[in-house]
């Protein structure tokens, strides 16, 4: 019996040595996981800006059409939310402008919205966005019923809409970071950071794309899990009956406990902290999380509460968990975080096998 145990331990040791050897001979691999719309692809864009040579003019031009789509989706979703909730606008100019916007997006529909935004329609959209009743709809969007959710980048693009009316305008880094386009396929991007080539895998976070993730678990060195902390009052695009934060915590739990990821460290970004700080004062946490005992409107209490929820799901003492509050659209803040994260999440792992 003892001999058998000894043999089994010896085999384990050989296998571990082989795995370590394999790691030693290849670049580190980081899998970026999390629910849809949490900021995974935005983090990759940020890495491209910080460590991948940035965006050339041709690439910037390509983002223009996506921005125009995001503008259209933003304004139409807010107007639709108002209409679904029986909210009528008192300002007759606003009513006229909304009719103009509908007419604009109706003619030739997508073609126009995708490739053109006239100066005139841009200022009409801006006028509607500036209306105090529209602003009120936007602020109360979480409590109003809506068949189409107002996107998180609505404030950014509608507040800046007039500059996109100029066809010559080339999108800035900030514009690019604020665009939204759902990921459907896993993509691998390599960035050289402090002389090491890191392979980042960006996945689609919506439910139907999650089955693509598992084949990558075998060979990954570290997990970066991104959750939107601002999502506590939102529902999944793919299933409006599920609260986004509940989904993120459950998903995190599955990842933290997954047998194939047993010794894999996790870095957790509690992302969109800028939106979180703005919404907590008027979107009550307790309405969506009845267990919340903190003071209503207190950002720190709310942040602590959500952080605890994630920590509880990763209670294994042998598992490393690093948590950061982030704003993935903020290049300056992310520059510091990227280096900290890279060093912390891979140092221990690779130190033990003599790679760093
Ligand atoms: N204000 C703000 N917006 C953010 C932040 N991080 C991401 N966003 C925006 O949130 C939206 C969704 O981000 P993505 O990076 O596309 O989300 P994703 O996790 O890749 O989503 P899927 O591809 O569907 O899994 C985009 O419009 C981003 O600009 C943040 O920290 N603050
Ligand atoms: Mg994505």
Are 330 and 199 in a shared domain?
Answer: yes
Indicate if ligand 1 lies below 6 Å from the C-beta of 29.
no
Are 308 and 271 in a shared domain?
Answer: yes
Are 93 and 207 in a shared domain?
Answer: no
Cβ–Cβ under 8 Å, residues 188 and 199:
yes
Ligand 2 center–CA 43 separation, angstroms: 9
| Domain count within the chain | 2
Which residue's entry shows tokens 């991007």? 189
Are 98 and 240 in a shared domain?
Answer: no
pLDDT tens digit sequence for 84-122: 999 999 999 999 999 999 988 886 556 666 668 999 999
Range of the domain at 73: 57-178
Domain boundary among 145, 178, 211: 178
Residue of the CA atom closest to atom 26 of ligand 1: 180
Residues 6+ positions from 128 with CB-CB distance below 8 Å: 75, 79, 94, 97, 98, 101, 134
Are 142 and 288 in a shared domain?
Answer: no
Whether 34 is in a domain gets the answer yes
Specify the ligand 1 atom closest to the Cα of 38. Answer: 19
Ligand 1 center–CA 144 separation, angstroms: 22
Domain boundary among 178, 211, 237: 178
Are 76 and 218 in a shared domain?
Answer: no
Are 265 and 160 in a shared domain?
Answer: no
Are 158 and 243 in a shared domain?
Answer: no
Q: Which ligand is nearest to the CA of 180?
A: 1
Domain harbouring 156, CATH code: 1.10.400.10
**What is the predicted pLDDT for the residue at 356?**
36
For residues 244 and 249, give the distance between their C-alpha atoms in angstroms, rounded to a whole number: 9
**What is the predicted pLDDT for the residue at 200?**
96
Residue 344, class by beta-carbon neighbours within 10 Å (0-12 exposed, 13-18 middle, 19+ buried)?
middle
Are 81 and 170 in a shared domain?
Answer: yes
Q: Which two tokens stand for residue 316?
A: 């294994």
Residues 6+ positions from 289 with CB-CB distance below 8 Å: 232, 245, 305
Indicate if ligand 1 lies below 6 Å from the C-beta of 153.
yes
Whether 17 is in a domain gets the answer no
Cβ–Cβ under 8 Å, residues 341 and 335:
no
Indicate if ligand 1 lies below 6 Å from the C-beta of 46.
no
Question: To test the ligand 1 pocket, which listed residue (33, 38, 160) has its Cβ within 8 A of the most ligand atoms?
Answer: 38
Low-confidence residues in the chain, pLDDT < 70:
1, 15-25, 107-115, 345-356
**What is the predicted pLDDT for the residue at 108?**
59
Ligand 2 center–CA 262 separation, angstroms: 25
**What is the predicted pLDDT for the residue at 63?**
96
Whether 354 is in a domain gets the answer no
Residue 117 — left, alpha, or beta (φ > 0 → left; ψ -120 to 50 → alpha)? beta
Residues 6+ positions from 302 with CB-CB distance below 8 Å: 232, 276, 280, 285, 292, 294
**What is the predicted pLDDT for the residue at 192?**
92
Whether 306 is in a domain gets the answer yes
Which helix (H) or strand (E) element contains residue 160? none
Q: Which two tokens stand for residue 269?
A: 């970004």
Domain boundary among 178, 197, 217: 178
Are 164 and 192 in a shared domain?
Answer: no
Indicate if ligand 1 lies below 6 Å from the C-beta of 155.
no
Are 130 and 111 in a shared domain?
Answer: yes
**What is the predicted pLDDT for the residue at 237?**
92
Residues 117, 121, 122, 127, Cα dihedral to 10°: -160
Supply the DSSP symbol for 320: -
**What is the predicted pLDDT for the residue at 69?**
93
DSSP-based three-state secondary structure for 40: helix
Give the strand order in the sheet containing 196-202: 187-193, 196-202, 29-33, 222-228, 266-271, 321-325
**What is the predicted pLDDT for the residue at 354?**
41
Indicate if ligand 1 lies below 6 Å from the C-beta of 244.
no
**What is the predicted pLDDT for the residue at 107?**
64
Residues 149, 153, 158, 164, Cα dihedral to 10°: -130
Residues 6+ positions from 9 with CB-CB distance below 8 Å: none
Residue of the CA atom closest to atom 2 of ligand 1: 272
Q: Which two tokens stand for residue 160?
A: 């800046």
E strands, 186-303, where? 187-193, 196-202, 222-228, 266-271
Whether 10 is in a domain gets the answer no
Residue of the CA atom closest to atom 32 of ligand 1: 272
Whether 356 is in a domain gets the answer no
Cβ–Cβ under 8 Å, residues 47 and 329:
no
Are 328 and 212 in a shared domain?
Answer: yes
Whether 293 is in a domain gets the answer yes
For residues 43 and 334, give the distance between their C-alpha atoms in angstroms, rounded to a whole number: 9
Domain harbouring 45, CATH code: 3.40.50.300
Which residue's entry shows tokens 């033990």? 352
Whether 11 is in a domain gets the answer no
């Amino acid at each position: 019996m003892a001999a058998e145990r000894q043999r089994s331990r010896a085999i384990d040791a050989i296998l571990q040595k082989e795995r370590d050897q394999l790691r030693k001979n290849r670049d580190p691999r980081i899998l970026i996981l999390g629910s849809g719309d949490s900021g995974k692809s935005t983090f990759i864009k940020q890495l491209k800006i910080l460590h991948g040579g940035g965006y050339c003019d041709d690439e910037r031009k390509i983002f223009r059409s996506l921005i125009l789509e995001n503008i259209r989706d933003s304004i139409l979703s807010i107007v639709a939310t108002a209409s679904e909730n029986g909210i009528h606008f008192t300002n007759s100019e606003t009513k006229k402008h909304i009719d103009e916007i509908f007419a604009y997006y109706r003619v030739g529909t997508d073609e126009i919205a995708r490739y053109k935004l006239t100066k005139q329609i841009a200022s009409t959209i801006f006028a509607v966005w500036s209306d105090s009743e529209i602003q009120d709809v936007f602020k109360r969007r979480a409590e109003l019923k809506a068949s189409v959710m107002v996107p998180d980048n609505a404030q950014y693009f509608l507040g800046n809409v007039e500059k996109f009316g100029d066809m010559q305008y080339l999108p800035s880094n900030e514009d690019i970071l604020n665009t939204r386009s759902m990921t459907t396929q896993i993509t691998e991007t390599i960035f050289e950071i402090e002389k090491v080539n890191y392979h980042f895998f960006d996945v689609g976070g919506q439910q139907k794309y999650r089955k693509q993730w598992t084949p990558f678990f075998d060979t990954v060195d570290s997990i970066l899990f991104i959750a939107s902390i601002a999502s506590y009052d939102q529902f999944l695009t793919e299933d409006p009956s599920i609260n986004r934060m509940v989904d993120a915590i459950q998903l995190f739990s599955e990842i933290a406990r997954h047998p194939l990821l047993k010794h894999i460290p996790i870095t957790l970004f509690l992302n969109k902290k800028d939106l979180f700080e703005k919404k907590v004062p008027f979107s009550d946490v307790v309405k969506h999380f009845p267990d919340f005992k903190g003071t209503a409107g207190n950002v720190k209490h709310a942040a602590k509460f959500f952080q605890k929820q994630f920590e509880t799901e990763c209670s294994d003492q042998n598992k490393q968990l690093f948590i950061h509050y982030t704003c993935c659209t903020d290049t300056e803040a992310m520059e510091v975080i990227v280096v900290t994260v890279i060093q912390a999440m891979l140092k221990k792992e690779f130190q033990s096998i003599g790679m760093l």
